[in-house]
Chain A
């Protein structure tokens, strides 16, 4: 049982890395084949001083570009898959400790998961107070709209 979980973790990680690499390679290829991505041309994207980064070209923009074979979108997807691999590892270990009824380690791994969730989901929205304010105003408008 123990060996099976560890093997599952290892293979899920390797699979994640392979998928992510494939996505990044295809993203780069698309970038060169199409001579750019979305509103940016190759020279704008491909420079060390490029203004194109994860703040100026957001994840939601990237997801929209998946259908139109935007190269950046595929690189972003690759990065997201990569970031998800260690998270998956923690999730699988939570399952492992739960099945072992190892209460202390279950608690510790849940604590790690809480930190991860906070850092990956809550903190980025806090770092963008404007978007948070916008969301708040949107809620207000929905609530009080005639």
Chain B
């Protein structure tokens, strides 16, 4: 009976993580790992492994949206995947080394820091402004054909957009992939940052493209995670199912939600979690609670 209770507990927490992750746009894993480690007291290794698997489920599960989206988004995504997959390989190998030399506390600190730094791009994503060209098209715009259109529902018009500075996007994406491999999260916020700030793409496009990239990046890290035993089947299975269900529900709730206040409250809650993760890493447990 005890075991069933533990299973139910994980299922409930992962549904909540998936729901908040989808609602804020931060991704299920980023919410999940702090809950699993701080609340359930799970070894971070298993929490991160389960999070990685759930990240793949969420990314592939969100594919229904792509039926409506244009291929241009997917094309831009593929061109950046070159960097995120390389980053994921480097990140997953780094985390193996970190655990081997016993620097696990560092993962808590980096996780908390990434969580805090993800909040601003996520907040920006919540309050999108209509896209306007800020930089002139450059050689990468032409070479890689970084152009596309999307339908702006609020203004009822089709917006034609273009991306610039693909090379800068690659640099940020390598970093995003590295963080994803290191922490077992999708690092969607960093991916959005790369496409929004570096490549000047519209937020609406960056979100769907980032969803596409997250799955491929996470799948890349899964090989190293698997062989090093970070995936615990009893933890990973309910987590993947829970986060998937939660994120589907979250995405649906998002469509009906008008205001931003609920999401901002969740972001503040996550800020506390980020600080708490850093505190745990620096052995300051109980500092806030």
> A residues engaging B (CB < 8 A)?
2, 5-7, 9-10, 13-14, 16-17, 20-21, 24-25, 27-28, 31-32, 42-43, 45-50, 52-57, 59, 72, 75-76, 78-79, 82-83, 85-87, 89-90, 93, 96, 104-105, 108-109, 111-112, 115-116, 118-121, 123-124, 127-128
What are 19 A-B residue pairs whose CB atoms fall within 8 Å in the complex?
A7-B67, A9-B66, A13-B61, A14-B63, A42-B3, A46-B6, A48-B40, A48-B41, A48-B42, A48-B46, A53-B230, A55-B228, A55-B229, A72-B233, A75-B237, A82-B56, A105-B75, A116-B219, A119-B223
Q: A112-B82, A119-B221, A120-B222 are in contact. Are A53 and B231 (CB under 8 A)?
A: yes
Of listed B53, B79, B227, B229, residue having the most chain A CB within 10 A = B227
Of listed A2, A93, A109, residue having the most chain B CB within 10 A = A93
Q: Are A6 and B222 in contact (CB under 8 A)?
A: no
Contacts of B42 in A (CB 8 A): 48
Of listed A42, A87, A89, residue having the most chain B CB within 10 A = A89
> B residues engaging A (CB < 8 A)?
3-4, 6-7, 40-43, 46, 49, 53, 56-57, 59-61, 63-64, 66-67, 69, 71, 74-75, 78-79, 81-82, 85-86, 88-89, 92-93, 96, 143-144, 212, 215-216, 218-238, 240-241, 244
Q: Are A83 and B222 in contact (CB under 8 A)?
A: yes
Among A14, A16, A75, A87, the residue within 8 A (CB) of B64 is A14
Interface of A is mostly: helix
Among B79, B89, B212, B238, the residue within 8 A (CB) of A123 is B89
Of listed A5, A13, A104, residue having the most chain B CB within 10 A = A13
Contacts of A119 in B (CB 8 A): 85, 88-89, 92, 220-221, 223-224
Q: What is the bound-complex CA distance between A108 and B140, given in angstroms? A: 14
CB distance from A20 to the nearest CB of B (A): 7
Q: Are A82 and B60 in contact (CB under 8 A)?
A: yes
Q: What is the bound-complex CA distance between A20 and B215, given in angstroms? A: 15
CB distance from A73 to the nearest CB of B (A): 9
Q: Are A53 and B223 in contact (CB under 8 A)?
A: no
Q: What is the bound-complex CA distance between A54 and B66, given in angstroms? A: 32
Q: Are A118 and B46 in contact (CB under 8 A)?
A: no
Q: Are B237 and A115 in contact (CB under 8 A)?
A: no
Q: Are B233 and A52 in contact (CB under 8 A)?
A: yes
Q: Are B82 and A111 in contact (CB under 8 A)?
A: yes
Contacts of B64 in A (CB 8 A): 10, 14
Q: A72-B233, A105-B75 are in contact. Are A127 and B241 (CB under 8 A)?
A: no
Contacts of A47 in B (CB 8 A): 6, 234
Q: Are A93 and B78 in contact (CB under 8 A)?
A: yes
Q: Are A127 and B233 in contact (CB under 8 A)?
A: no
Q: A50-B234, A86-B216, A115-B89 are in contact. Are A16 and B60 (CB under 8 A)?
A: yes
Q: Are B233 and A6 in contact (CB under 8 A)?
A: no
Q: Are A108 and B223 in contact (CB under 8 A)?
A: no
Among B3, B60, B75, the residue within 8 A (CB) of A86 is B60
Q: What is the bound-complex CA distance between A53 and B46, given in angstroms? A: 9
Q: A16-B60, A54-B226, A124-B226 are in contact. Are A27 and B219 (CB under 8 A)?
A: no
Q: What is the bound-complex CA distance between A16 and B85, given in angstroms? A: 21
Contacts of B221 in A (CB 8 A): 119
Contacts of B49 in A (CB 8 A): 53-54
Contacts of A120 in B (CB 8 A): 219-220, 222-223
Q: Are B59 and A105 in contact (CB under 8 A)?
A: no
Contacts of B231 in A (CB 8 A): 53-54, 79
CB distance from B57 to the nearest CB of A (A): 6
Contacts of A93 in B (CB 8 A): 74, 78
CB distance from B77 to the nearest CB of A (A): 9
